[in-house]
Amino acid sequence: MLRGELPLEVQDLEDEIEGLTTRVEKIANEIADYQRAISQKKGEIADAEASVERYKAQLDEVKNNREYDTLSKEIEFQTLEIELCNKKIREANNKIADKQREQESSEALIAERQSDLEVKKNELEEIMEETRVEEEKLKEQVKTLEAKIEGRLLTSFKRIRRNARNGLGIVYVQRDACGGCFNKIPPQRQLDIKMHKKIIVCEYCGRIMIDPELAGVKIDKATGATEEKKGRAKRSIRKTSTSKKSTDANDME
């Protein structure tokens, strides 16, 4: 309505913060997994070292070369196990260092986005406070207009609007294209739109399409560009979308 893109910006920031928070939690879990793996490897090293000491002690008691060779191989095997565990520990520590840097980066980004979010929320709150009275009047107009629209059509319109990225359920034709997704509209469908005899929806984005005249927009015939009457900015359509869309839907019945 009168808030422009601020609600979308706030939502985008909240979504990004949520995603970053999830990432930080995932990283923390991965770090914990590596730390558990390190503890396990340290336990294996302790067991292997104890085995090596035991086998070395047994070397003094061997009675033949076969027993000596067997103990020597066990000592060699346990020594290799210790080296392998130490290698795994080094790799895990390197992974932890990488993950900690990634975690710090994500946490810094979260703090930055939270600061941006606070600013946007304050801006939005100020606008809402400044326009509260006007918005209440517009909401009353919306209720009045909605009462005149067939329930099935109103439900469909609200569904379209919820699914639209920018909240616009009704858009006007701009340069032979949908004003919502900007895909080209076939000439016959443009003619159907101008006839105002039935509701025409974009086959790409699902938005209801109307001609510029019905939206209060005049066309520069020389360039094909659209310009709103009374010098209002194009974004005013977005600002008054709820009341205007309801009126347009009623007119198209």
Q: In whole angstroms, what separates CA 210 from the centre of its chain?
A: 31
Angle between helices 6-59 and 65-130 (to 10 degrees): 170
**Are residues 158 and 116 located together in one domain of the fold?**
no
Residue with the bigger pLDDT between 249 and 63: it is 63
* pLDDT for residue 80: 97
Q: Is position 110 within any domain?
A: yes
Q: H-helix or E-strand containing 212?
A: none
Q: Is 184 left (phi over 0), alpha (psi -120 to 50) or beta?
A: beta
Helices (H), the chain: 6-59, 65-130, 132-146, 151-163, 187-195, 236-239, 241-252
For residue 159 the two structure tokens come to: 């569904």
Find out whether 113 and 13 touch, Cβ atoms under 8 Å: yes
Strands 208-210 and 170-172, how do they pair? parallel
Name the residue among 158, 174, 166 with its Cα closest to residue 209: 174
What's the CATH number where 53 sits?
1.10.287.1490
Residue with the bigger pLDDT between 162 and 20: it is 20
Q: What domain range is 73 assigned to?
A: 6-130
pTM of the model: 0.54
- The helix/strand/coil state of 177 is strand
**Are residues 126 and 147 located together in one domain of the fold?**
no
> What is the residue-averaged pLDDT of the chain?
83
* Residue 167, phi then psi, degrees to nearest 5: 80, 5
Rounded mean pLDDT, 207-215:
83
**Are residues 98 and 200 located together in one domain of the fold?**
no
**Are residues 170 and 118 located together in one domain of the fold?**
no
**Are residues 145 and 220 located together in one domain of the fold?**
yes
Q: Is 124 exposed, middle or buried (0-12, 13-18, 19+ CB in 10 A)?
A: middle
Number of domains in the chain: 2
* pLDDT for residue 76: 96
- Assign 253 a pLDDT band (cuts: 50, 70, 90): very low
- Assign 4 a pLDDT band (cuts: 50, 70, 90): low
Residue with the bigger pLDDT between 107 and 221: it is 107
Rounded mean pLDDT, 235-242:
41
pLDDT digit string, tens, across residues 167-208: 788 888 888 898 888 899 999 988 888 888 888 888 888 888
